[in-house]
Chains A and B, each alone.
Chain A
């Protein structure tokens, strides 16, 4: 029997020693759905993706539909900018023909062979992110897990990355789980949103899930301060 949902998460708990990073999380993901995860720093968002990938120890059920291919773009993947690894060699890890690599780079808006010879540490963070997306998309995944970097991407770069993801989603019928800090991305992009602050704070369509109460619970002081300043500023 084929599962109705592409992913079912039931009673997920992740703890590092005494520190409970994720508590009793339940949610589902349908085919072609865009789920956006929001929450403050340290809320367990990146850990959640790793638990979905089964690369951190966890309790509870993470059930993917059988035969699903998952692509994962981590938040940061280059430990050392001096690493002598060219873009071409990074693609060599996948053992693919050069044509396929060119095709994948074109699909993320990187043209020309010059980029292939560049050392991966010297290219801009925006380009690096595109390369990572191309690297993941080359395997034709059914689901894309995308962890937005906290810093280092210029505003313009960030905008185009979401345009790019939207384009890929249409072309490839992708199902996506995105982590973002930008609530605008949620409104533009999400079919459903999951607010995480160690436990589930809100979950549903952006319209039903995001309201002053849930945002206040999610971000606490930050939102209050913002509203306060706003009121007195005018």
Chain B
């Protein structure tokens, strides 16, 4: 089977930006949130597949809903975020399983980038670039808020506002990522490259650069391998990124 150049390029953009956002997620120690958001996307994808509209759009709608719910409950109750995220995570997964048509369930769960249309390709590339541009502008403030909320708020940064902005950009990239690796594994696309990069970095510049590069390479190498051995792309992409992670443990700068 031939791989379309469109799917490769689209995945490079999504993988790179996912890695970029991952560098912040690892710093904030909220990797469970990344994982959970992938699952929150599933009911939206199910509806999109059922009614025949774009899965990323369906995913995005539910992601926004999920994020607003978590954010709202976090400010209105004193429950820990982990608990709230955990509950919304299983709620979405259950609903997702029930409403996604049987035939498309596997695709929704593990992704199928080969199916990308030309229009989807352009949407994916442009949206990734917009997220990259937007996050780049506020990256120092986001990073400071995540490194030390105390110092950030003492310096007049509204930690809550930046949290929300960050979650919204995660939502967009997850909505794009579900096409590449599916809703079950999209969290890993954000987390694993940055986790690997962190082990190999002595400073922020290296960390961000490697997160992006490992995210991109995981996608390209994974898609090519999956195509060679005729297996679903999503799991192979993530296995590739985990391979980079294991490699990073061996050469870790913190040993």
Q: Which residues of A contact B (CB under 8 A)?
A: 17, 50, 53, 55, 70, 72, 74, 77-80, 82-86, 88-89, 92-93, 117, 119
* Residue numbers in A under 8 Å from B150 (CB-CB): 50, 55, 72, 74, 77
* Residue numbers in A under 8 Å from B244 (CB-CB): none
> At the interface with chain A, which of B35-43, B48-56, B196-204?
B196-204
Taking a contact as CB atoms under 8 Å apart, the answer to whether B207 and A70 are in contact is: no
Which residue among A17, A83, A86, A92 has the maximum number of chain B CB atoms within 10 Å of its CB? A83
> At the interface with chain A, which of B107-115, B140-148, B176-184?
B140-148
Contact of A78 among B147, B153, B204, B253 (CB under 8 A): B147
* Residue numbers in B under 8 Å from A79 (CB-CB): 29, 147-148
Taking a contact as CB atoms under 8 Å apart, the answer to whether A80 and B144 are in contact is: no
Taking a contact as CB atoms under 8 Å apart, the answer to whether B153 and A86 are in contact is: no
- Complex formed: what's the CA distance from A1 to B154 in Å? 26
Contact of B202 among A17, A80, A119 (CB under 8 A): A119
CB distance from A115 to the nearest CB of B (A): 13
- Complex formed: what's the CA distance from A53 to B201 in Å? 34
Task: Give how many B residues have a beta carbon under 8 Å from the other chain's beta carbons.
Answer: 22
Contact of A83 among B147, B151, B154 (CB under 8 A): B147
CB distance from A47 to the nearest CB of B (A): 12
Shortest 6 CB-CB distances between A and B: which pairs? A84-B201, A86-B203, A72-B154, A84-B207, A55-B153, A77-B148
* Residue numbers in A under 8 Å from B254 (CB-CB): 82
Taking a contact as CB atoms under 8 Å apart, the answer to whether A89 and B203 are in contact is: yes
Taking a contact as CB atoms under 8 Å apart, the answer to whether A74 and B148 are in contact is: yes
* Residue numbers in A under 8 Å from B140 (CB-CB): 92-93
B206 at the interface (CB under 8 A from A): yes
* Residue numbers in B under 8 Å from A83 (CB-CB): 27, 147
CB distance from A161 to the nearest CB of B (A): 18
- Complex formed: what's the CA distance from A93 to B146 in Å? 13
Q: Kindly list 4 other residue pairs between chains A and B, CB separation below 8 angstroms, not including A86-B202, A89-B204, A93-B140.
A: A74-B150, A77-B148, A79-B148, A93-B144
- Complex formed: what's the CA distance from A55 to B140 in Å? 20
A46 closest partner in B (C-beta): B150
* Residue numbers in A under 8 Å from B27 (CB-CB): 80, 83
* Residue numbers in A under 8 Å from B148 (CB-CB): 74, 77-79
B83 at the interface (CB under 8 A from A): no
Q: Which residues in chain B, 189-214, are within 8 Å of chain A measured between CB atoms?
A: 198, 201-207
Known A-B contacts A53-B154, A92-B140, A93-B140; A84 and B206 likewise in contact (beta carbons under 8 Å): yes
Known A-B contacts A89-B203, A89-B204, A93-B144; A84 and B151 likewise in contact (beta carbons under 8 Å): no
- Complex formed: what's the CA distance from A79 to B151 in Å? 12
User: Can you spell out 16 A-B residue pairs with CB atoms less than 8 angstroms apart?
Assistant: A53-B153, A55-B150, A72-B151, A74-B154, A77-B147, A77-B148, A77-B150, A77-B151, A80-B29, A82-B198, A84-B202, A84-B204, A84-B253, A85-B203, A86-B202, A88-B203
* Residue numbers in B under 8 Å from A55 (CB-CB): 150, 153-154
CB distance from B81 to the nearest CB of A (A): 15
- Complex formed: what's the CA distance from A82 to B207 in Å? 12
* Residue numbers in B under 8 Å from A72 (CB-CB): 150-151, 154
Taking a contact as CB atoms under 8 Å apart, the answer to whether A86 and B204 are in contact is: yes
Which residue among B148, B154, B206 has the maximum number of chain A CB atoms within 10 Å of its CB? B154
Contact of B205 among A82, A89, A93 (CB under 8 A): A89
- Complex formed: what's the CA distance from A53 to B78 in Å? 22
CB distance from A164 to the nearest CB of B (A): 19
* Residue numbers in B under 8 Å from A92 (CB-CB): 140
B203 closest partner in A (C-beta): A86
* Residue numbers in B under 8 Å from A50 (CB-CB): 150
Known A-B contacts A79-B147, A79-B148; A119 and B78 likewise in contact (beta carbons under 8 Å): no
